[in-house]
Structure 1
Amino acid sequence: MPVSPDYRPDPRFSDLGPEFGDVVAPADFPETFLRVRNDRAAATVGLQTLTDAEWIAHFGRFQPLPGQPGPLAMRYHGHQFRTYNPDLGDGRGFLAAQLRDDQGRLLDLGTKGSGTTPWSRSGDGRLTLKGGVREVLAAAMLEAQGAPTCRILSLIETGEELQRGDEPSPTRSAVMVRLQHSHIRFGTFQRAAFFGRRDQIEILIEHVRSLYHPAVPEGDAPGLLTAIVAASARLTARWVAAGFVHGVLNTDNLNVTGESFDYGPWRFLPFYDPAFTAAYFDQTGLYAFARQPEAVFWNLTQLAGCLKLVADVEPLTEALNGFGPAYIRELRAAFLERLGVKSLGEAADQRLMDTTLALLREKGEAVRWEPLFHDWFAGFSSSARALAGPRAKDWQGKAFDAFRFALFEHEPDRPERLENPVFARPDPEELLIGEVEAIWAAIDANDDWSPLSEKLARLETARSARSLAGGST
């Protein structure tokens, strides 16, 4: 049986009509080598029972899954580094399927590297294997840290030699499939607005409202914007708490459900640095670590501009103005979750967040971002462990005293999680660029996939340790 009884196809994007997507054919790859198969993610949508041969047929050759109409390249526009580009769209990917997960949510299977489409422009429609490996790692790390993220379902090497101007070429090729709540982007609305299509904006609003934000009343464009603002604030806050820099926060890389995807030149902070950038081509620091909230808000204003075709400016502005307060609330909550403590109220929670950032700022390169959250997870319950660990000498000074006082005000949240062997280790799982390059080097030089497999296993262990007993992360 190719799929389990839990598989529930529900293709809905095609309901929007042919003006929102193009029927396309996948590339015919010369070879298919299954490199990453995410059975935990597959089990949430009833695909874990596929054999490897069936897996490759569906996610390497893209034979449609049961009840699915076949590949659709989605149409959208977008601002790229704040310059409007009307020539975008799915240029090396497509929507392969839509299905319900074990919570009843509608999820997409979206591809990257699956061949050319009408929106490929001069591109080859392919994905480098290194790019695919980097996306697998980014999604796994963010999920382990409790950030809303797509999950990489599949990575298949495709046997082509690709030419790229920004890395050694020829380089190996791959096709990737991500499992994600929605691929409808801010840029999907921008395309409709660009052509002055009020009717398409209304269709999109109802589609997005009914499928992803059903609490919003029918026809309530400001209400839908409010929901998207809230989801985007949560996403941005959890990026910051994770020390994550997306790198390319264009309007085609943000979606209506507030779920992170399309990981290109991402980085995790080695240590606190507000100006840290991920993309070598981001020479002005537009998408630097500390500017990510500003970038997301700017993108939300572009979405609001599209909704002006069907709604008054005042309620849309009111919805936008909710981003700042929502972001701060979500950031406080994210820091509490990362530190494994309970809320004590707005003032105390703000004090803890402020002193955490002040400590990271004071220590600079002496203390990396992730180890602080590892050492002090669950607050005072970790005192003996942290003060006897490899960073004991760093846990002193005025800024540390203020941090410790604020932390110890808060009651530990499920301190039994500290019994997990993850917290007995001297160092946490990090994902700095040196380790990413080392994982790729083993694959590139020796076709050794064990460092990647081992890293993914450790990240899953870390995720499980933090989410024990139904935690919010």
Structure 2
Amino acid sequence: MTVAASPVTLDDWFARDLGGLYRPWQADPAPSPELVELNAGLAAELGLDAEALRSPEGVAILAGAAVPAGATPVAQAYAGHQFGNYSPRLGDGRALLLGELTDPAGHRHDLHLKGSGRTPFARGGDGKAPLGPMLREYVISEAMHALGIPTTRSLAVTTTGEAVVRDGRRQPGAVLARTAASHLRVGTFQYAAATRDADLLRRLTDHAIARHHPDAAHAERPALALLEAVVEAQASLVARWMDVGFVHGVMNTDNTTISGETIDYGPCAFLDAYDPATVYSSIDHGGRYAFGNQPQIVQWNLARLAESLLTLIDDDTDTAIALATDAVSGFGATFLRHRSTGLHAKTGLTDEHGELVEDLLRLLGEQHPDHTRFFRGLSAAARGDVSPVRDLVVDRDAVDAWLDRWRAALEAQDRPVEQSAAAMDRVNPVYIPRNHQVEVALDAAIAGDLAPFERLVDVVTQPYDERPGLDEYAKGDPSATGYVTYCGT
């Protein structure tokens, strides 16, 4: 049904521009929708009335049981390489794009439902989602936003009134309403290119440029400029993932956005112990998407985007290939620039100290300290208390030697050491969504107790300010060996 006095008014820009890249569709009925969690802060940023969203009409929209004014719900089409294997037809198998809304600052955002039932792109299953995974995406995506990392965001989680069974476990069925700069992916371009419809690929490229990288429209080769802009955005994004120890877990080309936002929080987690080989996905047996492999995987995905754009980059195939190759080859230097900037900020260094930073990464790889606590402890070490850092390693002589060199570098800078320590506290979080804390909160929520979940959301959305009574949220799980997440999570 369409809501007459809708608390949300949407545009249908994607649907108007990009026929051929979607199927019009409706969400499955939600017999008895109930609001579980509403992100009132995000609603305010979007110019939405939180109380109206809490009304029966608002909850019906958030659950997919009603269509807001101006909306043309569609299931988006895209292809993708999943673990390196190409699938020509993926698409929104259990999701719908309701449309776009414009916030008070004039920025467009997709409003998208996840877990709203099967679509023509469904690849098995009922297209519905259990409550736990939807709450998981809510808390982790909001934590990422609080950490300053570009990401889709979670507006609300609603239950549908139906039960969903996954892996023998019965849970309430749920829908996540999320927002994004858009849901355009590398896989969207792969799909359009595979149709061999030149007009469709050009319309998609023009749409992506207008929406995300408008300066590319004025370039000599707009499609090449788009590719270069996405290379820059993705290099910056993955460097920020590495800064906070985030492991995405399923970096397929259909999960690589044109906007440079993090998308699809399935088998993702944060490092406890620092180890580049860390894998959390149950199906990543070869470590393709391990923590330390993320930069080269993104570059590989960007090469697939480049292939999709070749016909628009230049009429001459050899010229197009050469130009696209140069653009993708530039990813390495761009990523290292962003990564170096992040690591220098995390260590309080304003001058260039590449060797010192590289030696730190080598030391971390040998000692495997808690990633978050180690970097947060550096500000204490700068102030003279090295115990928060030394207590995390086995080889204290090695860390002492590095700390001596690092302290000398800090003291040689133009700003006082205390200013450096304060700057480090602004980029090194105290709190992240610790894997064991996430599981505790989700188990309680599924059982009907939302208090631990809401407490966790409060903690991780204020990640830099140490607060009394939250010591447990700053600690890793002492028994954390072999933590595993799943694609359905």
Q: Give the alignment's TM-score, normalised by structure 1.
A: 0.86
- Superposed CA deviations along residues 24-80 of structure 1, whole A, max 9, x for unmatched, are 1111112222122111111121114443114312211453334x2231111111111
In the other structure, the counterpart of 1:324 is 332
Change (3 A) 1:283 1:351: same
Q: Work out whether residues 114 and 175 of structure 1, in 8 Å CA contact, stay in contact via their aligned partners in 2.
A: yes
Q: Work out whether residues 11 and 71 of structure 2, in 8 Å CA contact, stay in contact via their aligned partners in 1.
A: no
Change (3 A) 1:140 1:83: same
- Superposed CA deviations along residues 434-473 of structure 1, whole A, max 9, x for unmatched, are 112111222233x1111111111112222678xxxxxxxx
Match of 2:40, as an amino acid? D
In the other structure, the counterpart of 1:211 is 211
Q: Work out whether residues 23 and 71 of structure 1, in 8 Å CA contact, stay in contact via their aligned partners in 2.
A: yes
Change (3 A) 1:397 1:282: same
In the other structure, the counterpart of 2:106 is 104
SS at match of 2:216: coil
Change (3 A) 1:278 1:84: same
Q: Work out whether residues 346 and 375 of structure 2, in 8 Å CA contact, stay in contact via their aligned partners in 1.
A: yes
Distance 1:408 1:298 in 2: 41
User: What is the total number of aligned residue pairs between the two structures?
Assistant: 447
In the other structure, the counterpart of 2:174 is 174
Listed as ranges, the matches of 1:263-278 within 5 Å are: 263-278=265-280
Distance 1:80 1:119 in 2: 16
Q: Find the partner of 2:365 among 351, 361, 368.
A: 361
Q: Is the counterpart of residue 343 in structure 1 residue 325 in structure 2?
A: no
Listed as ranges, the matches of 1:388-427 within 5 Å are: 389=388, 396-407=399-410, 411=415, 415=419
Distance 1:33 1:137 in 2: 19
Change (3 A) 1:419 1:297: closer
Distance 1:102 1:379 in 2: 43
- Superposed CA deviations along residues 155-175 of structure 1, whole A, max 9, x for unmatched, are 1122322232xx342233210
Q: Work out whether residues 151 and 262 of structure 2, in 8 Å CA contact, stay in contact via their aligned partners in 1.
A: yes
Q: Work out whether residues 351 and 406 of structure 1, in 8 Å CA contact, stay in contact via their aligned partners in 2.
A: no
Match of 1:275, as an amino acid? A
In the other structure, the counterpart of 2:87 is 85
Q: Work out whether residues 277 and 290 of structure 2, in 8 Å CA contact, stay in contact via their aligned partners in 1.
A: yes
Q: Work out whether residues 432 and 463 of structure 2, in 8 Å CA contact, stay in contact via their aligned partners in 1.
A: no
- Displacement of 1:2 in angstroms is 7.1
In the other structure, the counterpart of 1:18 is 19
Change (3 A) 1:274 1:79: same
Distance 1:413 1:95 in 2: 50
Listed as ranges, the matches of 1:51-450 within 5 Å are: 51=52, 52-53=54-55, 54-66=57-69, 68-164=70-166, 167-218=167-218, 220-311=222-313, 312-339=320-347, 341=348, 343-344=350-351, 347-348=352-353, 350-351=354-355, 353-364=357-368, 367-377=369-379, 380=382, 383-384=383-384, 386-387=385-386, 389=388, 396-407=399-410, 411=415, 415=419, 428-445=430-447, 447-450=448-451
Provide the identity percentage: 32
Q: Work out whether residues 150 and 178 of structure 1, in 8 Å CA contact, stay in contact via their aligned partners in 2.
A: yes
Q: Work out whether residues 94 and 111 of structure 1, in 8 Å CA contact, stay in contact via their aligned partners in 2.
A: yes
Match of 2:165, as an amino acid? Q
Please identify, of 70-79 and 101-110, the stretch whose mean Cα deviation from structure 2 is larger: 101-110
Change (3 A) 1:464 1:216: farther
SS at match of 1:14: helix
Q: Work out whether residues 362 and 399 of structure 1, in 8 Å CA contact, stay in contact via their aligned partners in 2.
A: no
Q: Work out whether residues 72 and 94 of structure 1, in 8 Å CA contact, stay in contact via their aligned partners in 2.
A: yes
Distance 1:288 1:237 in 2: 14
Q: Give the alignment's TM-score, normalised by structure 2.
A: 0.84
Please identify, of 403-412 and 271-280, the stretch whose mean Cα deviation from structure 2 is larger: 403-412
Match of 2:457, as an amino acid? L
Distance 1:101 1:342 in 2: 37
- Displacement of 1:352 in angstroms is 5.0
In the other structure, the counterpart of 1:468 is none
